[in-house]
A and B are shown apart, each in its own frame.
Chain A
């Protein structure tokens, strides 16, 4: 038996957002990438055209992946060729995440997040700007 079959009876997902994927069935290459600038401000103020990814180091620095060059002989004996799940309940899938039912070959996922908090000076909490 070469591969196993994934069998899910019931799959319930409430929300899929920001380039996420629900993949039912086999795939070969999965490549996910997400980057975010998360800004929290003490007052409700939002400038629509902010946030330039290249100005932050975290979005530029390379995250090296170790090359897959391991020389191993991998032997799988699928005595029971079924992966059975009765029930899956997911509230949300977000930011280039993948919910996958089935087999795949090469998966690589990357996430980069920059978190910025802006607070008002003490005694100036009533000011908006």
Chain B
């Protein structure tokens, strides 16, 4: 496939953004490839009704250690 692009004048006056979040990209420029993936999970079982039970403890070494 042959893909030919003619870049003529590109002049923007004003850009107003509230937030760029969660591994998003805001770019002024050219790039060859962009690959974005995102997963958001809020299934019914993530709605817990009842007494507050703490979530599973973070066991990553060096993380969330209350003694640090």
Contact = CB atoms under 8 A, between A and B. Distances in A.
Contact of B22 (A37, A97, A99): A97
A53 to B, nearest CB: 7
A46 to B, nearest CB: 10
B52 A103 contact: no
Contacts, number: 252
Taking residues whose C-beta sits less than 8 angstroms from the other chain, chain B's interface range is 35 or more
Contacts of A127: 51
A46 B31 CA distance: 43
Interface in A32-80: 32-34, 36-37, 39, 41, 43, 45, 47-53, 55-58, 61, 63, 65-66, 68, 70-80
Contacts of A91: 17-19
Given A94-B21, A103-B30, A80 B7 contact: yes
Contacts of B17: 88-91
Interface string B12-38: 111111111111111111111111111
Given A75-B2, A101-B29, A121-B50, A116 B21 contact: no
A73 B51 contact: no
A119 B22 contact: no
Contacts of A126: none
B48 A32 contact: no
Interface of B: 1-42, 46-60, 64-66
Q: In the A-B complex, list the 7 residue pairs whose CB atoms are closest, starting with the nearest.
A: A115-B42, A111-B23, A109-B23, A111-B22, A58-B41, A63-B37, A108-B35
Given A114-B42, A121-B50, 15 more contacts: A3-B30, A34-B23, A52-B56, A58-B41, A73-B3, A98-B24, A104-B30, A106-B31, A109-B23, A112-B38, A112-B39, A116-B46, A118-B52, A120-B50, A128-B52
